[in-house]
Amino acid sequence: MYDLIIIGSGPAGLSAAVYAKRSGLELLVVEGNAMSGGQVLNTYEVDNYLGLPGIDGFEMGQTFRKHADKLGVTFKNAQVTSIENKGNVKVVHTRKEDIEAKALIIATGAEHSKLNILGEDKLTGKGVSYCATCDGAFFRGKTAAVVGGGDVALEDAIYLTRMCEKVYLIHRRDELRGAYVLQEELKSLPNAEILYSHTVESINGDAAVSSITIKDVKTGETKDLPTSALFVAVGIHPTNDLVKDILDCDDSGYVLADESGKTNVPGIFVAGDIRKKPLRQIVTAVADGANAVTSALEYLKK
């Protein structure tokens, strides 16, 4: 039986792996994707991680993984289908086998909700982004569009007006859902334009986004809107299928745990974007991984 199984090898899981291995734990990391790195693999450049300015996201994911490999961490490439809490024993089920451990760290991250429209997958990282604070600076002096109508969409649009020449906010309804103060701030900005009652039908471009096709839902009329970027802010959801029936979660499905990563179930810890917290970034995921191992060590000592 392993001391610890870490599920997920994004920044949180890999950071936890490094800390756990260096603490001498019998450890296994189970990753569903063919590659480690998590969401970081989907960004072409990360410019806000201390010490690695302008690093390519793919390279960063591989660098994190190499660190764990160098220490001799054991990885298994398998999608975890469920977990079971048998008190002092936790069972991790994959399609092929059941693996036991004394403790678990769940680092399965979060996924940004997608529009599921033509061009979205192809142009993600090439002008389509789900994170304005991460990628906005790449479109300095250019035109950008944001789709969504809640607080995040409004905040993203306001943030982008500080660097982009022109920012469109596209919302399918005729009124915004986000906070009144944010609406008023956005409306007051000379380089922002809100397109109400419009949906984005497709994202166009070959090597990078060149335009989006938008539709007026009242008239059915479509037109192309030239833009270098489309920021999708239609929600984010935690990858919580494994734990939503076992661990206490908030209304949005994020696991309730403070920085220690301790959940309502002794021996099951969470780290990274799956945890309820104010800022979901690489640096906070990495910190969570380290903290969750500290909590796991404390639990295992008992």
Which x/- pattern, by CB under 6 A, does the window 250-289 give for ligand FAD? ----------------------xx------xxxx-x----
Quote the least distance from Cβ 288 to ligand FAD, whole Å: 7
CA distance 229 to 245: 38
Q: Which residues contact 169 (CB under 8 A, 6 or more apart)?
A: 145, 146, 147, 148, 149, 153, 154, 157, 186, 192, 193, 194, 195
Q: Which is nearer to ligand FAD, 194 or 269 (CB)?
A: 269
Question: Is 80 a residue that touches ligand FAD (CB under 6 A)?
Answer: yes
Question: Is 156 a residue that touches ligand FAD (CB under 6 A)?
Answer: no
Q: Under a CB-based contact definition with an 8 Å cutoff, are residues 231 and 130 in contact?
A: yes
Q: Which is nearer to ligand FAD, 130 or 168 (CB)?
A: 130
Q: Which residues contact 189 (CB under 8 A, 6 or more apart)?
A: 158, 161, 167
Quote the least distance from Cβ 66 to ligand FAD, whole Å: 15
In the region spanning residues 7 to 66, those forming contacts with ligand FAD, defined by CB under 6 A, are 7-13, 30-33, 38-40, 42-43, 46, 48-49
CA distance 283 to 290: 11
In the region spanning residues 176 to 215, those forming contacts with ligand FAD, defined by CB under 6 A, are none
CA distance 24 to 27: 9
Residue keyed to tokens 């489309």: 230
Q: Which residues contact 66 (CB under 8 A, 6 or more apart)?
A: none
Tell me which stretch binds ligand FAD (CB under 6 A): 1-9, 21-29, 144-152, 248-256: 1-9
Which residues make up the interface to ligand FAD (CB under 6 A)?
7-13, 30-33, 38-40, 42-43, 46, 48-49, 79-80, 107-110, 112, 129-131, 134, 239, 242, 272-273, 280-283, 285
